[in-house]
């Protein structure tokens, strides 16, 4: 008998790379919490399992954190009424392994001799296990299993004012991070020296905003000022904005997968329209892999812009041959084996009118395990497609990410253990093609990938990790960073 089973994310779709977090901060406006909640709502795609906001009202810090999506966590007026203050930071979280826990929900908060300090983090620290071990040996007591708490304990050991302490703490960490921090007087934003994860600066009247993407500015009517630069620390207080670069300069390596999938298509990241980049990827795909077909079909929603670009370049009509159920994010049915066998149909259904009797080209953003791709191909054949071809808007995903993206262990990645022909046979399509690395780079406005000095972080495709994987080196590189942290915390 099926029993009640509350879920905040779709348990039947684990065949995507998942961004782990979103951050938002605002300083200098009434109802800062309401603005933060709206911003987090716009950033829901970057984390769906937990959400939190911390505010400061001039006398005390106030916080609310809970498991669930933003509308569930902050949907009651009495919750928002308690979050008074003219400054706030917020966070959306996507848990990577194990059950989500309230104690891991950010922003984290601690009291220091200089006062309260709250921090929200997007990214992943690749030496967090090593640092945690050292800190525990020195007497630190951890309350969570997140790598972000390492920063809090390093801050406690550092000297000076809050910015000096934060700089000293971050000089000890390795990995990718975009942080927003809140003190009694300051809103602080920091990006790691390589700028792997995104962070933008915005303005709404006299208020200043920090957010993971520009779509969070759009929802509250704010304007983008600029991207926070790699290695930059921005301090916002009643006197305005101060910018410093406290770390040695490095060649930036922004995550190229933000253009492929992570960012919302209406966002502008690092000066590029995400939508324009994805349609350009589709055009590059059509040039690299022309296919004789009757219809171009996106796998919604992430495959839509690239499918539009492919259709424009190829002259083959674009059609919605797959209809997505947008309400599958929560379910009351326990995912038993029988229900799991329904698989992709809980989220996608074939539009037989478009598919039957046609040679189709499916466009998707990526292939991770390949399980969803196989089920969609089966669905297309069942709907009467005479040929099913697949074109993928990214190179083959051959390596795990350790910089803030939930990725399976490498031996579970389809492209890590199979040739192109083997992947095609396993998925069951008539042909399978991926955009080249150079094609991906051309789509974002570059002549191609410089193999001696790549312009982006593309480690999930190339295995070229720009930041040292200290914990992985010590543990043999067999599991995710947060799994290592959980093991360390037991």
Q: 361 with 319: CB under 8 angstroms?
A: no
460 is in an annotated binding site: yes
337 is in an annotated binding site: no
The catalytic residue among 21, 181, 215, 391 is: 21
| DSSP designation for 226 | E
- 215 carries an active-site annotation: no
Backbone angles phi, psi at 294, to 5 degrees: -100, -25
57 is in an annotated binding site: no
Cα–Cα nearest to 393, from 262, 252, 212, 254: 262
Q: CA quadruple 169, 170, 175, 177: dihedral positive or negative?
A: positive
311: CB partners within 8 A, 6+ apart: 282, 296, 317, 318
Q: What is the DSSP string of 162-206?
A: HHHHHHHHHTT--EEEEEEEE-SS-EEEEE-TT--S--EEEEETT
401 is in an annotated binding site: yes
| DSSP designation for 445 | T
Place of tokens 């000076």: 160
457 is in an annotated binding site: yes
Q: 122 with 84: CB under 8 angstroms?
A: no
434 bridge partner residues: 392
Q: Which residues are catalytic?
A: 21
Residues making up the annotated binding site for [4Fe-4S] cluster are 255, 401, 457, 460
Residues making up the annotated binding site are 255, 302, 364-365, 401, 457, 460
Residues making up the annotated binding site for Mg(2+) are 302, 364-365
């Amino acid at each position: 008998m099926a029993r009640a089973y509350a879920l905040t994310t779709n348990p039947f779709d684990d065949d995507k790379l998942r961004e782990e977090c979103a951050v938002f901060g605002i300083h200098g406006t009434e109802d800062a919490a309401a603005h933060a909640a709206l911003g987090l709502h716009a950033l829901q795609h970057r984390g769906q399992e937990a959400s939190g906001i911390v505010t400061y009202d001039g006398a005390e810090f106030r916080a609310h954190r809970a498991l669930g999506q933003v509308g569930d966590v902050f949907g009651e007026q009495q919750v928002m009424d308690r979050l008074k203050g003219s400054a706030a930071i917020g966070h959306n979280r996507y848990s990577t392994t194990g059950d989500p826990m309230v104690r891991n929900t950010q922003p984290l908060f601690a009291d220091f001799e200089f006062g309260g300090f709250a921090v929200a983090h997007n990214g992943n620290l690749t030496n967090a296990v090593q640092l945690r071990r050292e800190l525990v040996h020195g007497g630190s007591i951890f309350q969570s299993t997140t790598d972000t708490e390492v920063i809090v304990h390093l801050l406690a050991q550092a000297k000076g004012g809050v910015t000096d302490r934060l700089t000293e703490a971050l000089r000890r960490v390795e990995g990718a991070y975009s942080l927003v921090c809140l003190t009694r007087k300051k809103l602080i934003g920091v990006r790691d020296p390589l700028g792997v994860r995104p962070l933008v600066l915005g303005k709404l009247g006299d208020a200043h905003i920090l957010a993971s993407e520009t779509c969070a500015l759009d929802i509250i009517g704010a304007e983008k000022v600029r991207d926070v630069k790699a290695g930059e620390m921005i301090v916002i207080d009643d006197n305005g904005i101060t910018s410093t670069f406290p770390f040695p300069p490095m060649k930036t390596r922004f995550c190229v997968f933000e253009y492929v999938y992570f960012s919302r298509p209406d966002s502008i990241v690092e000066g590029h329209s995400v939508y324009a980049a994805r349609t350009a990827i589709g055009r590059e795909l059509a040039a690299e892999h022309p296919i004789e077909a009757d219809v171009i079909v996106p796998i919604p929603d992430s495959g839509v812009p690239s499918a539009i670009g492919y259709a424009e370049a190829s002259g083959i009509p674009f059609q919605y041959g797959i209809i997505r159920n947008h309400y599958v994010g929560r379910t009351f049915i326990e995912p038993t084996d029988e229900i799991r066998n329904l698989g992709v149909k809980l989220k996608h259904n074939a539009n037989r009118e478009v598919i039957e009797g046609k040679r189709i080209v499916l466009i998707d953003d990526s292939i991770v395990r390949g399980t969803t791709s196989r089920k969609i191909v089966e669905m297309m054949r069942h709907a009467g497609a005479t040929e099913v071809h697949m074109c993928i808007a990214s190179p083959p995903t051959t390596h795990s990410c350790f910089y803030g993206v939930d990725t399976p262990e490498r031996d579970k990645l389809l492209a890590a253990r199979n040739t192109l022909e083997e992947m095609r046979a396993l998925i069951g399509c008539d042909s399978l093609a991926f955009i080249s690395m150079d094609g991906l780079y051309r789509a974002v406005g570059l002549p191609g990938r410089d193999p001696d000095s790549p312009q982006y972080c593309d480690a999930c495709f190339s295995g070229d990790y720009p930041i040292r994987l200290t914990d992985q080196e010590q543990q043999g590189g067999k599991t995710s960073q947060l799994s290592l942290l959980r093991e360390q915390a037991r």
